[in-house]
Chain A
Amino acid sequence: MVEAEPEIEGRRIAAEARDRVRFEEEALALADQVYRVARRLVGTREEAEDLVQDTYSRAFRSWRSYTPGTNLRAWLLRILTNLNLDRGRKVQRTPDTQPIEEGDYYLANKMVEASGEQVLDQDRVVEKLSQDSIVTALSSLPHDFRDTVVLVDIGEFSYADAAQILDIPIGTVMSRLHRGRRLLKQELAEGRLA
């Protein structure tokens, strides 16, 4: 029986290596989706690339703390948003201002004022707002609001997943989302129609 123990140990190591390869492959398959969210959380493409690389580097090191069968994309995004938060703390930041808030229909109403009711026909929205204006408006949001809007509206995470990723209560996700979207529409209305 002298041979038995090394054999068991060998099988354990082989099984762990297989789990690890599977984890890494599943994580890499999500890279494009992770990048999409990262890109809207930071200002430049280079920062987004760095952030995604740091995220994967940490994820590959701490793969054992991921529970198979749970939401891997949310697990990766939690690492990413934490890294982004640490990074933000290091950069000298001006405090986020709390702009005056308009209602949910502010943008719709402004567009109606400018061009009449027909502007609200579905396809006309696309004609009236440029891609640049959307990207600029998103990046101008105070970071707490932006993180939530980006996770839910770009990343398509549920309220519950966003709450877990950002480590905040679900009610806070809902209020930040609501206010963040209002601010986004305000930015769009002012940028587009000023």
Chain B
Amino acid sequence: MYLKTTWKHIRRSPYQALAAIMIMTFTFFVAATLLLAAGASQKILSYFEGKPQITAFFKDKVTDKDIGNMENALKNTGKVSSIKYVSKEEALAIYREQNKKDPLLLEMVSAEILPASLEISATNVSNLKDLYEFIKKQPNIEEVVFQKDVVDTLTSWTSGIRKIGLSLLIFLSLISVLIIVTVIGMKIAIRREEIEILHLVGASNWYIRWPFILEGMFYGVTGAMIAWSVTYLILWRTTPFLTSFLSGIPLLPVSPLIMFFLLITLCLGGAIIGIIGSLLALWRYLK
């Protein structure tokens, strides 16, 4: 019964309905993009955090005992999650793999000229600096390389995306609520006579309010569903390109389960924005 009335309201002013759905679609498209971007940046960050973050290159004359002592010293700091020893031979194999397309570079290199190293991962990104300082002071260490810059940049990007995204999302949600308030408010104004008749024949306030609330929900959920479909379509079309762009980072394809949760989240958001907008309009225009 309420659904029938709601559908009648929507059909009677299709342009207002279209405007409301379009603005909701835009809001939720931005929301979907931001949610996916936030998830992706977090995953990229985890990927880099999971990789060896410090590489300590030994001096040429280092002994196995020195290497063992170094490993123990690092473990005792309690800030290390994993340590991997890379011998001169393994270093050569890695070098060959990285430069297999350039035979000239391979000819000139032997295991002797490559240093043995330790690849170290920290339990937490914040421990990297302490570990770096600690390793640098060790006598058998020739050079220390660590990915602090990459991780720092990614951390600041992730945090930036979250902050900007959240602000944009709040701003767009406010606009969407205002649009719903305006559209529903106009509908209430147009139907003032009908509302008066309903009151006179004994309709309760909720009998009158429900179709307007459902209408707001309809705009929100429809906008969310369209936005989700557009996002999915764009993601699907760009997956081959993004996969090659993000070579090595296991980000794509996005799991259908994640997309399903995204759909549910967007629809819930749409319903909530629709309900809030409608209730505000009813409170403002239907006292």
**Do A and B originate from a single complex?**
no
Which residues from chain A sit less than 8 Å from chain B, CB to CB? Answer: none
Which residues from chain B sit less than 8 Å from chain A, CB to CB? Answer: none
